[in-house]
Amino acid sequence: MIHSVYLATYTIDQAAALDPSSWSMQFTFKDAGGEVILPDELPGDLQIRCQDSYGIFDGDGRIVNLHMIPVVGSEIPLKLSVNSPSTGVNFRSEARLTVVAGQRKEQYFAVSIMLQGSGTVAPTLDDIRQARSMLSKIDPNLNITWAMDTNFVFAESNRPVLQEIVENVDRYGDEIGIASGYPNNIYSLSEWADNMNDWLYMYRYNALNPLHEGGTSGQASVLNSIPPKYLPKSLSSQAVNPEQVEWLHTHFGITSYMGWAATQYNVNHMYGEGSPLMPYWSNRNSPLVPAQGMADNSGSVFMNSVTVDPIGSRYIDKSSRWTIHPGDPYVTESDAVPQLHTALQYLNNPYQKLNTVNYLSITLNMDWTIRDPKMSKSWADFVDRFPADNEVHIVGADELGKIYQAAAGSSNQHSEFSLMFRGSGYTTVLDNNNSPANLRYLWTENASQRIILAKEDGDSAWSIIDFTDYTVTPVPKTPYNLDLLTDVSYVTGRNFKIAPAAPLTADEIRRVKERLQEIYFAEAVKYE
């Protein structure tokens, strides 16, 4: 007869390192003499129920709230009830699980350093060496993207820097990229083609001069003459339109784009909301929308140009983008506390094991970040205080794109991303917009939908503030050339910025419930 029950294991990995589908609570039963009772000798009507004060497990000991697992070193007290009517067994017992570190998935930090301008504006050799040296404090084996704009590659005075960057490709495996901040608002498609052809021609002229052949701009021989490792591998921008993406893909073979800032809306006169946080193959008609299959797949992977605080980015005007960039948000403090808070929310995200790729990203303007006293101090503070216990691999934009392709395959079908995020508690100097520390977001998305839940401390249930259905067709084709005020938001239901209180349909409610179950989230939710 069963006399006692014990856990088969007394540890559980922290949430960030745990795959709930491969973990289960196992028990060992002993008789009065202390002998282990074999599984085939246990009564058929045996029931064991589990209860924990955190709300992590259901009665059967299955994980239902992954994010509730406490920090490493914590203990989770369990109350166990054992019952078998046929044998008269009915007793209660207690046990404890200790949270251990476990093995996390790789965490990446995509860095693109933008080199712009000429003369006194252009970065110097000391500037780029300093930038790389600083980042090596986070990852000594880093690889980064050097993204150059047209003005930079046109200037012969920048040849020493260009030659050093080419050497960095050989020495460290760094990447060459193209920088263009808001090309959608600057170039028509024909102008874009001319600008990119001129970029490549003058890049070869000043960085790889022995390969130069005059009068060949726009000819295929320019691209073909450049060794593959020195070719531009990515575009770094804040907003790029579909036609420009297609042109670069077709003519330069570029498939990686740090090309949109997620949750961006009315920033630098660029209107658009709806972009995912996860990397994704983009829809050929809209860079904000994940492709649903091969027919609508642009063949290009989009990644955030900068990691956002989604709570601080919830505004639709004024200071409407909060990120890990030292100038975003702009606060009175000269240190990088808000930016570090945002980074830590991603680094300690409980859903890392479920996500296809876990990453931070940033595009850095050298002239602003390195030379502006406040920006440079804040960026130095961010790097110096970056948590050493979080192993992060710094990669270039194209390397991250290739990492996503390797993990996801040729479609978004199996892509997953979820993030539990708490506000930083800071307020911007400009506009007094803030990221409340008593507010949390659960952001979860895959190829077919983006769902965001919000909850203030003390609330009894979570509220649904976003349901973006990416399966709605047709996806509007939005060139948005040369129009600062074109709103290209992709909104197909509730939207946490534009219409957070829109009604949910019965089908949307069903899909929300299914999605929350998939990511092991069972807290109370208001569905009205």
For 78-111, write each residue's pLDDT tens digit. Answer: 999 999 999 999 999 999 999 999 999 999 999 9
Residue range of the domain that includes 136 = 107-526
Residue 59 · residue 50 · CB < 8 Å: yes
Average pLDDT of the chain is 94
Burial tier of 307 (Cβ tally within 10 Å: 0-12, 13-18, 19+): buried
Token pair belonging to 92? 């209660």
The pLDDT value given to residue 39: 94
The pLDDT value given to residue 480: 66
Flag the least confident range among 54-68, 286-300, 464-478: 464-478
Of 100, 125, 152, the residue at which a domain comes to its end is 100
The SS3 call for residue 450 is strand
Determine the Cα–Cα distance for residues 88 and 46; give it in Å rounded to an integer.
10
The pLDDT value given to residue 182: 85
pLDDT of residue 334 exceeding 70, the answer is no
The pLDDT value given to residue 181: 85
| Residues 91 and 197 reside in one and the same domain | no
| Residues 307 and 228 reside in one and the same domain | yes
| Residues 17 and 121 reside in one and the same domain | no
H or E element: which one contains 414? none
Count of C-beta atoms within a 10 Å radius of residue 39? 8
| Residues 200 and 60 reside in one and the same domain | no
pLDDT of residue 505 exceeding 90, the answer is yes
Q: Calculate mean pLDDT across residues 383-396.
A: 94
| Residues 509 and 412 reside in one and the same domain | yes
| Residues 442 and 484 reside in one and the same domain | yes
The pLDDT value given to residue 265: 83
| Residues 382 and 243 reside in one and the same domain | yes
The DSSP symbol for 65 reads: -
| Residues 93 and 112 reside in one and the same domain | no
CATH number of the structural domain spanning residue 482? 3.20.20.510
| Residues 130 and 202 reside in one and the same domain | yes
CATH number of the structural domain spanning residue 45? 2.60.40
Q: Calculate mean pLDDT across residues 396-425.
A: 98
The pLDDT value given to residue 476: 82
pLDDT of residue 262 exceeding 80, the answer is no
Of 100, 127, 155, the residue at which a domain comes to its end is 100
Residue 350 · residue 69 · CB < 8 Å: yes
Give residue 115's identity as a one-letter amino acid code.
L
Total number of domains in the chain:
2
| Residues 49 and 140 reside in one and the same domain | no
Of 100, 134, 168, the residue at which a domain comes to its end is 100
Q: Calculate mean pLDDT across residues 302-328.
A: 90
| Residues 210 and 90 reside in one and the same domain | no
| Residues 94 and 220 reside in one and the same domain | no
- Which strands make up the sheet holding 525-526, listed edge to edge? 416-422, 439-446, 449-456, 462-469, 525-526
**pTM exceeds 0.85:** yes
Higher pLDDT, 482 or 298: 298
What percentage of the chain carries pLDDT values higher than 70? 98
